[in-house]
Copies of this chain bind each other. A is one copy, B any other.
């Protein structure tokens, strides 16, 4: 183990100790928030995950609820801390509350290894009920923020998740199911796109979310019939074929 590693570990220990001391005064005990942050690039639906210390495991961005803070506000704060974005589309979809969900052997062992001796019973070892939200972001605007414990922030194809801790893979799947329902119902898809987009790009998004193909011509007819798109100028890609129109979602509210 190199010098740098040791220094970094010591800093980590100090940070953790500080957190352990202050957390019980600042946050509600027993309740946490986890967020599934969906993004869309390379025609794939992705979720943002954090590397757990220097292990090969990843976890969802999460945090705790300040004692005088509303639950939704806590979720939004946690999201903003991680993406440096404002006005994010955020939807609560599930609350996980099995007793064994935070008692994962691997996580405890890894924590112990990384941060050394800390009180046997502490903030992290308590039972948490976790309220889960999903967020839809335009990934081109996200500025992933790392921190001392979560040194890497990475997008993962929802179909190619890494090793994850706790029940976070099950949570992502629940989030996806809910997103599928909401995409039809509330037309929330544009939150995943840039301001303007072509019909082809939108179709790719729908195909990624529903994990199935749509017939191009019928998809276009269906979407246009919803009357929520405004047709803009054409987008010339330089390719030698007909250029598609750009569209923008119009708020009907």
**A residues touching B (Cβ–Cβ < 8 Å)?**
28-31, 65, 67-72, 74, 92, 94-99, 127, 129, 131, 181, 185
Nearest-CB residue, chain B, relative to A67: B127
Determine if A95 and B95 form an interchain contact, defined as CB atoms under 8 angstroms apart.
yes
State whether A99 and B127 are in contact (beta carbons under 8 Å apart), knowing that A28-B30, A30-B29 are contacts in the complex: no
User: How long is the Cα–Cα vector from A94 to B99 in the complex, in angstroms?
Assistant: 19
Q: Residues of B contacting A72 with CB < 8 Å? A: 97-98
Q: Residues of B contacting A69 with CB < 8 Å? A: 99
User: How long is the Cα–Cα vector from A70 to B166 in the complex, in angstroms?
Assistant: 15
Determine if A95 and B92 form an interchain contact, defined as CB atoms under 8 angstroms apart.
yes
**Contact partner, A129, options B98, B131, B181, Cβ 8 Å:** B131
Interface-centre pick from A31, A92, A97, A181 (highest chain B CB count, 10 A): A97
Determine if B129 and A65 form an interchain contact, defined as CB atoms under 8 angstroms apart.
yes
Q: Residues of B contacting A127 with CB < 8 Å? A: 28, 67
Question: Which A-B residue pairs are the 7 nearest by beta carbons?
Answer: A71-B97, A95-B95, A70-B98, A30-B30, A95-B131, A31-B129, A28-B30
Q: Residues of B contacting A95 with CB < 8 Å? A: 71, 92, 95, 131
User: How long is the Cα–Cα vector from A95 to B131 in the complex, in angstroms?
Assistant: 7
Q: Residues of B contacting A129 with CB < 8 Å? A: 28, 31, 65, 71, 129, 131
Q: Residues of B contacting A70 with CB < 8 Å? A: 97-99
Nearest-CB residue, chain B, relative to A69: B99
Minimum distance in angstroms from A180 CB to a CB of chain B: 11
Determine if A94 and B92 form an interchain contact, defined as CB atoms under 8 angstroms apart.
yes
User: How long is the Cα–Cα vector from A127 to B28 in the complex, in angstroms?
Assistant: 9
27 residue pairs from A and B, CB less than 8 Å apart? A28-B30, A28-B129, A29-B29, A29-B30, A30-B30, A30-B31, A31-B129, A65-B97, A65-B129, A67-B127, A68-B99, A69-B99, A70-B97, A70-B98, A71-B95, A71-B96, A71-B97, A71-B98, A71-B129, A72-B98, A92-B94, A95-B95, A95-B131, A97-B131, A129-B129, A181-B181, A181-B185
User: How long is the Cα–Cα vector from A186 to B132 in the complex, in angstroms?
Assistant: 22
Nearest-CB residue, chain B, relative to A68: B99
Minimum distance in angstroms from A114 CB to a CB of chain B: 28
User: How long is the Cα–Cα vector from A198 to B210 in the complex, in angstroms?
Assistant: 37
Minimum distance in angstroms from A60 CB to a CB of chain B: 16
User: How long is the Cα–Cα vector from A161 to B167 in the complex, in angstroms?
Assistant: 38
Nearest-CB residue, chain B, relative to A97: B71
